[in-house]
Structure 1
Amino acid sequence: MAKIGRFSSDEAREAYLRSYEAMEGLWPLPAETADVTTSFGTTHVRRSGAGDGLPLVLLHGVLGNGLHWHSVVEGLAQGRPVLALDTVGGPGRSVQTAPMAREADFGTWFAEVLDGLGLERVHVLGESAGAWHATLVGLYAAERVASVSLIEPNGVVARTPWRALLRLVRFGGDRTEEGWRAMSEWLTPGLTMTEVELANVRAGQSFRLAVRWARPLKDAELASFTPPLLAIYGGASVVSDPPAAQRRIAVLLPGAEVVVVPGAGHGVRAQAPARVVDRVVRFLVRHDEVPRGG
């Protein structure tokens, strides 16, 4: 039965919103916010930047929200608006009121968000679980998408290794700060969250998620993917299989671009921000078009 995402209690929601407000202080650019009504609830959107480039929509990972792009938004907003969404069904300021029962519902939700913002076509960038959501947008709302960029799309093109899945389950059962830091060190060795970021993610653990986990695309799905595609992997990622993904994309979607950053893990965006941002920006420019709305 499809579910609706929600906090475990009103107190948990209030605690999360306090941590969210603290996160807002990390956002480096002037921003406008809006709450867009869709068939699945309201979606919170943070918009920064300006320019003639087609807008870029950002989709965050699990337990994250749009504010988690704060460290790279300046680089991404080079000559274009950037819109960071709080995905419906996850923690954030969005409020889900109806379940997403089918994968295609992500395309419907995304199109309705664009309609509410007065936008016709955009670029999409997703990270981790957000990469899966961006993939669904590319499959089911392709007419609204000029390009799709994926950062560490684990489980989307190649299966997540079983050992990694088992370890994630074990980490998920440990909600202590020590457990979270251990998982973070395993996923993104050498990187440390700020206290503000850590507090926000830990507060998000009180949210009962209602978004589906990624699954490997079928051959026909990958081969039929029509938007221009860029996939960025960390070469040392413990939850992805970059060589397998690169081989499969080369066979089924030869026009797509794949970048593997040596030595980086699942947190490749934070480990190599300049390289990732530069690669994404150049990809966006190549696939820009004159905006036809908003």
Structure 2
Amino acid sequence: MPKIGRFKNDASHEAHDRAYQAMEALWPIPSTQLDVPTSFGSTHVRRSGSGDKTPIVLLHSVGANSLQWHFVVEDLSRDRVVYALDTIGTAGRSVQTAPLTSESDFATWIGDVLNELGLDRVHLVGYSHGAWHAVLMALHAPERLESVTLIEPGGVFDKPSWGVLFKMIRFGMRRTDENMRKMNEWMTPGYDIPESQFVCAKEALNYRPGIGWARVLKDAEVRSIAVPVLVIYGAETIVATPELAAARVAELLPRAEIQVYPGTGHGILGQIPDRVIPRILQFIQNNDHSSESNIGRADRRNSAS
């Protein structure tokens, strides 16, 4: 039965909000925060950067929020506006009021956000679970996308092993600080998240999400993706078998670009941002068809004020 995401109680909501506020100190550049209405509730958006190139929209991973991008947003926004979203139905400052009843609803939600921001087309970048949501946009509303970048899209092109899933469940059953740190070390080796981000992720465990999980796409679905796609994996990731996933994408979507980085895992964005971000920006630049109409009404209002 479709759900509406919510915190366990008011106390857990307040604790997460305090942790979210503390984590905001990690955002390194000026930002404007917006709360835009959609068919599924209010969506919290953080806007940074300037320029008239096609904007970038960022979708975060499970248990995270828009602030997850704090250590790469400065580079991403050097010559364009970047919008980081708190995914509807997850812990954050978005407030879900209606259930997402189908996969296409995610495309409707993102489309509603773009409409409210006055954006015609964007470059969409999703990390982990956010990559699944980006895929759904590519499948159901490709006309709104210049490109889509999928970072560590576990469970999308191949299925994680049962051993990995069982280990995740075991970690989830014992939510101590020690156990959470062990899980982070296992899932994202080589990247130690800041303490305020750790606290925020811990408080997010008291949120009962209103969204589902990724599923492996059918062959016909992969073939149907018409927008430019960049797929990025860490070679040692636990959420996929990169060589199998890459081979499947190459066979079914030969025009897609695939990058697998040796010696990295699921936390690849934190491990080697100096290699991953330039790769993403080059891909975006190669697929950029910018125009003033893509700046967005919100940005034009701010420029005029």
In 2, Cα distance between equivalents of 1:59 and 1:194: 20
In 2, Cα distance between equivalents of 1:163 and 1:262: 22
Structure 1 vs Structure 2 CA RMSD: 0.8
Contact 1:23 1:67 in 2 (8 A): yes
- 1:78-97 matched pairs, under 5 angstroms: 78-97=78-97
Match of 2:188 in 1: 188
TM-superposition CA deviations, 1:99-154 (whole Å, max 9, x none): 00100000100110000001110000000000101111111111111100011001
Match of 1:115 in 2: 115
What SS is found at the alignment partner of 1:25? helix
- 1:193-232 matched pairs, under 5 angstroms: 193-232=193-232
In 2, Cα distance between equivalents of 1:77 and 1:111: 21
In 2, Cα distance between equivalents of 1:97 and 1:63: 19
**Residue 210 of structure 1, CA deviation:** 1.3
Tell me if 1:164 matches 2:173: no
Match of 1:241 in 2: 241
TM-superposition CA deviations, 1:171-223 (whole Å, max 9, x none): 11111001101101111123222211110000101100111101010000000
Contact 1:32 1:48 in 2 (8 A): yes
In 2, Cα distance between equivalents of 1:257 and 1:290: 21
**Residue 13 of structure 1, CA deviation:** 0.6
| Structure 1 residue ranges, 4+ long, deviating more than 4 angstroms after superposition | none
2:27 maps to amino acid: W
Match of 2:174 in 1: 174
Structure 2 spans left out of the alignment, 5+ residues: 297-305
**Residue 163 of structure 1, CA deviation:** 1.2
What SS is found at the alignment partner of 2:155? coil
Contact 1:219 1:252 in 2 (8 A): yes
Contact 1:264 1:271 in 2 (8 A): yes
Contact 1:44 1:93 in 2 (8 A): yes
Equivalent pairs, count: 294
2:284 maps to amino acid: L
Match of 1:31 in 2: 31
Match of 2:299 in 1: none
In 2, Cα distance between equivalents of 1:156 and 1:241: 11
Query: Greater CA deviation, 284-293 or 121-130?
Result: 284-293
Match of 2:10 in 1: 10
In 1, Cα distance between equivalents of 2:231 and 2:211: 22
Structure 1 spans left out of the alignment, 5+ residues: none
In 2, Cα distance between equivalents of 1:20 and 1:162: 33
Contact 1:53 1:285 in 2 (8 A): no
Contact 1:110 1:141 in 2 (8 A): no
Match of 1:251 in 2: 251
Contact 2:190 2:267 in 1 (8 A): no
1:70 maps to amino acid: H
Contact 2:152 2:231 in 1 (8 A): yes
Match of 1:279 in 2: 279
**Residue 78 of structure 1, CA deviation:** 2.4
What SS is found at the alignment partner of 1:260? strand
- Normalized against structure 1, the TM-score is what? 0.99
In 1, Cα distance between equivalents of 2:257 and 2:57: 19
TM-superposition CA deviations, 1:15-51 (whole Å, max 9, x none): 1011001111100110011001001000000000011
Contact 1:152 1:233 in 2 (8 A): yes
In 2, Cα distance between equivalents of 1:190 and 1:29: 25
2:64 maps to amino acid: G
Match of 1:73 in 2: 73
**Residue 290 of structure 1, CA deviation:** 2.0
What SS is found at the alignment partner of 2:231? strand
Tell me if 1:103 matches 2:128: no
What SS is found at the alignment partner of 2:260? strand
Match of 2:129 in 1: 129
2:119 maps to amino acid: L
2:134 maps to amino acid: A
In 1, Cα distance between equivalents of 2:52 and 2:95: 31
**Residue 160 of structure 1, CA deviation:** 1.1
